[in-house]
Structure 1
Amino acid sequence: MAPPPSATIGQMITSVFLLLLLLAPVTQNAKSMLPRTDRELLEFSLNLEYLEAEFFLHGSMGRGLDHIQPGLAGGGPRPIGARIANLSPLVRNIIMQFAYQEVGHIRAIKSTVPGFSRPLLDLSVKSFAKVINKAFGRHLFPPFNPYANDLNYVLASYIIPYVGLTGYVGANPILKSNTSRKLVAGLLGVESGQDAVIRTLLYERATLIVVPYGITVAEFTHKISKLRNKLGRAGLKDEGLVVPTYLLGRGVLTGNVLAGNTNSLAFGRTPKEILRIVYGSGKEQVPGGFFPKGGNGLIAKSYLKKKKLDNLPSLV
């Protein structure tokens, strides 16, 4: 005898409900299956990916992640001072491609680990001018404006993406999961490509004078790289477009279109080193620079928390 229709419907609803209960944890747990270290390192990289995405999106189109894919921003505050740059069609097209690549990177990371919302970013003219002034040890006049023209924007692009690239190189050897290593390899491949394009565009203009400062493009890259080495406090992990021959290990060549050690292997950096650089303070526990309130995620916040504990009055 067939069950009454009402019983059949009730069974169907119960079955669907139980199925949803079973599936929901699987989706949630899929992002927590990775080893803790892997999750923390992958999430940490979001800080740099947010920074690059917003800089490239605003620079090429005048709008950011909140317009392109708002869900990825996670409700985080909008960047300070980001704007559209005065770019030629070719450079705008290249930067727009970079922008969508960075959006894809954020999506890929947040599909693998829980992630976090976009931190507060400072992409203002003032923020970039501070970096350049610190690199040269003096105030340039007028203040360096990354949005003024092609050359300034590409020089500003030299400041940011390479730092994230070295982070992936540094993280890869300590990742334990094949899922994590596969993701980082994919991210590193595209980030390296972006860096190569940026360096090539600048290398073509290495001897060009950056107006109105009377300083060559090559000298700008040298000073920026020197500053990052100083802030990172971990030795030589950064090189400009022209370097002494003894650093390259390639005879009489001084050209350095791609950065690498004496075996032409990419340099790697730790999260501590990266924070010291992007904060502009040389200290992983002192926020500032492009991250006025510091980065998000357990790694970045652990250093900020340590600073707060260090500042507590002694009870002894």
Structure 2
Amino acid sequence: MAAPATTFAVVAAVALLALVGTSGARAQDMGNDWAPFIGGGMTGSALPLSDVDLLEFPLNLEYLEAEFFCWASLGYGLDVIDIKLTGGGPPPVGGQTAKLTPLVRDIATQFCYQEVGHLRAIKQTVKGFPRPLLDISAANFAKIVEQALGMKLDLPFNPYENTLNFLIASYIIPYVGLTGYVGANPKLLTPQARKLVAGLLGVESAQDAVIRTLLYENGMSQLTSNDEVGVAQMTSHISELRNALGRKGIKDEGLVVAPELGPEGKTTGNIIAGDRFSLAYDRTPEEILAVVYGSGDPAIFGGFFPKGGDGRIARGYIA
């Protein structure tokens, strides 16, 4: 009876060796097939070029968010926190410490370090690029607010002046990156890339929800520097501006909307933006660049990016 069992074991072992050898060959062949599309990264992971591009592009927004939140809450940015993350890129223009309540400073500090973590996560997956030149000055935010309102204010908006102004400025930035992750997710080819984007999207969405909640609580308040402008009114104007710059219809909503735009058409309160099914809106890189450049055109840089964004996607519109 031992002979059949021994024979079976030998056959199984030979089959296993053949399978391993075949798998190894297939893995090697697949590596050769994908060689033109490999993106380098600290992990050494192989990703198709399209995934590399879609993962690198958000670095533009993550750099912007990290510098704004860190400067506002701590009074310094990546050059102090971890200069290696900058990749040798130029320091941002106009960052300063904001005058915040203890609660909001604590929240902003958490956001700061969350964005630092996001930069690390992306750069451990793809090579990335150096920090672009960023303009987070009060003057730049003032220009955006006046563009949204369609009028020049007697007292220029200053995001670092007080807590409400800071929250309005915070409303301007993270949501754009959030919509970019929603737009990128279905275009990603690998589980590794989709998992990373899902993780980034989860935290960016939570940040936006916190910002909107704090603003919603103060929706009827007037911005102290410009008493004629209310908080909820300002969010609507900013969202309308982003819709206009993106040129793809409604993908942005303020804290108060017309009844038909609220969840199920039942409320005018709009603490979380969403489409008619209350699903998050999506934006393409082209739309995002048009918004953050403030030009409505991904080929005409400016706004937060005086010299344009970086990465193959952003550079592709300018070349």
Give the TM-score, by structure 2 length: 0.86
Q: Structure 1, residues 52-98: CA drift from partner, whole Å, max 9, x if none?
A: 00000000000000100111101100000011101111100000000
Q: Which 4+ stretches in 1 moved above 3 angstroms? A: 27-32
- In the superposition, relative to structure 1, how do residues 215 and 299 fare at CA in structure 2: closer, same or farther (>3 Å)? same
Aligned equivalent of 1:139: 152
CA distance in 1, matches of 2:42, 2:222: 54
Matches within 5 A, 1:213-232: 213=226, 214-232=228-246
C-alpha distance in structure 1 between counterparts of 2:155 and 2:117, whole Å: 36
CA deviation map 1:262-299 (0-9, x unaligned): 10000000000000000000000000000000001111
1:178 aligned residue: 191
Distance 1:28 1:254 in 2: 46
Deviation digits for residues 36-56 of structure 1, max 9, x if unmatched? 111001000000000000000
Task: Spell out, residue by residue over 1:223-255, the C-alpha distance to the aligned partner (whole angstroms, 9 max, x if none).
Answer: 000000000011100000000011125344100
| Paired residue secondary structure (1:146) | coil
2:159 and 2:166 in contact (8 A); partners too = yes
Where does residue 161 of structure 1 map in the other structure? 174
1:152 maps to which of 165, 189, 197: 165
Q: Distance in 2 between matches of 1:280 and 1:251?
A: 31
Deviations 1:111-141 (A, max 9, x none): 0000000000000111001100100111112
Q: Is the 8 A contact 2:73 2:97 kept in 1?
A: yes
Structure 1 contact 46–115 (Cα < 8 Å) conserved: yes
1:197 corresponds to 2:201:
no
Residue 77 and residue 234 in structure 1: after superposition, are their counterparts in 2 closer, same or farther (change >3 A)? same
CA distance in 1 between partners of 2:41 and 2:80 (Å): 27
Which one of the candidate residues 240, 256, 259 is aligned to 2:254? 240
Distance between the aligned counterparts of 2:42 and 2:258, measured in 1?
Answer: 51
Q: Deviations over 1:150-178 (max 9, x none)?
A: 00000000000000000000000010000
Change in Cα spacing, 1:78 to 1:200, as seen in structure 2 (3 Å) is same
Instruction: Measure the CA separation in 1 of the matches of 2:116 and 2:263.
Output: 37
Are residue 72 (structure 1) and residue 72 (structure 2) matched?
Answer: no
In the alignment, what sits opposite 1:36? 49
Partners in 2 of 1:160 and 1:44 — Cα distance?
15
Q: Quick one: distance in 1 between partners of 2:293 and 2:45?
A: 29
CA distance in 1, matches of 2:102, 2:225: 23
- Corresponding residue for 1:8? none
Instruction: Give me the whole-angstrom Cα distance separating, in 1, the residues matched to 2:185 and 2:41.
Output: 25
Aligned partners of 2:290, 2:53: CA distance in 1, in Å?
A: 18
SS in 2 for 1:261: coil
CA distance in 2, matches of 1:119, 1:141: 32
Match runs of 1:1-316 below 5 Å = 30-31=43-44, 33-213=46-226, 214-305=228-319
Q: Distance in 2 between matches of 1:95 and 1:247?
A: 30
Contact 1:86–1:147 (Cα < 8 Å) also in 2: yes
CA distance in 2, matches of 1:253, 1:54: 36
The structural deviation recorded for 1:215 is 1.4
- Give the distance between the partners of 1:234 and 1:188, measured in 2 at CA: 21
CA shift, 1:101, in A, is 0.1
Q: How far off its partner does 1:30 sit?
A: 4.9
Aligned amino acid, residue 281 of structure 2: F
TM-score normalised according to structure 1 size: 0.87
Structure 2 unaligned residues grouped into runs of 5+: 1-39
Indicate how the Cα distance of structure 1 residues 211 and 190 shifts in structure 2: closer, same or farther if over 3 A, else same.
same
- Which amino acid in 1 is paired with 2:67? E
- 2: CA distance between counterparts of 1:238 and 1:202? 16
Instruction: Supply the distance in 2 between the matched residues of 1:45 and 1:251 (Cα, whole angstroms).
Output: 33
Contact 1:31 1:114 in 2 (8 A): no
One-letter amino acid matched to 2:307: K
